[in-house]
Amino acid sequence: MTRSSRSTFSFHSASVDAADRFDIWREFCSRAVLGQSCVADAQRFDVALRGHVQPGISAMQLHAGACSILRDPDRANDDEPDLLAFYMVQAGTLQVEQDGRVALLRPGEATLCVGDRPYRLTANDRHEVLTFKVRRQFLSTPASLEGGTARNLVTTTVFGRSVAQLMQGIWSQLPNLDNATSHRLVRNLVDLTEVALALEADDPLDPSGPAREANVRRIRQFIDCNLGRDDLTAAHVAVELNLSTRYINKVLAAEGTSLIRHLWHRRITMAAGQLREPRLARRSISAIAFSLGFKNLSHFSDLFRRTYGVSPTEYRGQHPR
């Protein structure tokens, strides 16, 4: 097993003596982020893996022969058992069991398990699996997730295929991402999974349902990432998030706002922040306005004055460098 300064690791069983391969793999499983036990034909078993570790996130791609892996938190020796475990099959098949359910995953399909309760993974032949283990704090609200574990997200939820595709996309870029960006993407993964599971049990247009908080966070994140688009409309946001404008406005009404009001509020708030920023003292007010999606300066100045009681120029003058 090798580990680099970038918190990456890799292992290939062909690099060690055949008699020791399974013992090394079994020891790795017991000492993993979520400790597990493994059963396999020791004489025929082989494995190759590579992964990345950073605070709150562990990601791994595994190529292995037939085996069964059991997670028993009462017998495991790990420091942080209360993790979310996402599994996506890239080749072969994988059977996942937890909370009395059994899911059979084929290539392109994904599921969720939780580390604080027992679960089992079984592959009867060679397989390739992508795994993310992340802190439960990524959830929008505390939840046991008993109704959502060991479910084939692709075949049982509307957004399940998007969950699997996002896992693949994050994995492909993870070596190039800083911790903050990785956390943001994984939070989106957890949010999307929460929404997918909640929509199966609740009316997607019910703004008081369990999906509400996760959806509100998705809406806010999308708007903050797209403030500079001067063509951003309610319809665009709805299409991008696969939600109706009616639903978006209902959940935001519970927050005391609407989609359009929130969009302009965020733009004007970001503008004020840039006008206070010493590093941007030489940047023109018009450049700031246009970079945040305003199409003309008169609209920007009017909205700024209504919000802060002074013009953008006066506001900048109140915050000397």
pLDDT per residue as tens digits for the range 245-275:
888 888 888 888 999 999 999 999 999 999 9
Can you give the residue ranges of every domain in the chain?
A: 2-144
Q: What is the pLDDT of residues 123-170, one digit of tens each?
A: 999 999 999 999 998 998 888 888 889 999 998 888 899 999 999 999
* Rounded Cα distance, 312 and 46, in Å: 65
Q: Which residues pair with 135 in a beta bridge?
A: 83
In the prediction, which pLDDT does 206 show? Answer: 52
* Rounded Cα distance, 61 and 129, in Å: 6
* Rounded Cα distance, 180 and 305, in Å: 34
> Domain 2-144, what fold?
Jelly Rolls (2.60.120)
Q: What is the pLDDT of residues 225-242, one digit of tens each?
A: 999 988 888 888 888 887
**pLDDT more than 70, % of the chain:** 94
Between helix 259-276 and helix 211-225 the angle, nearest 10°, is 50
Instruction: Indicate if the pLDDT at residue 205 is higher than 60.
Output: no
Q: What is the pLDDT of residues 96-125, one digit of tens each?
A: 999 888 899 999 999 999 998 999 999 999
Maximum distance among all Cα pairs of the chain, rounded to whole angstroms: 77
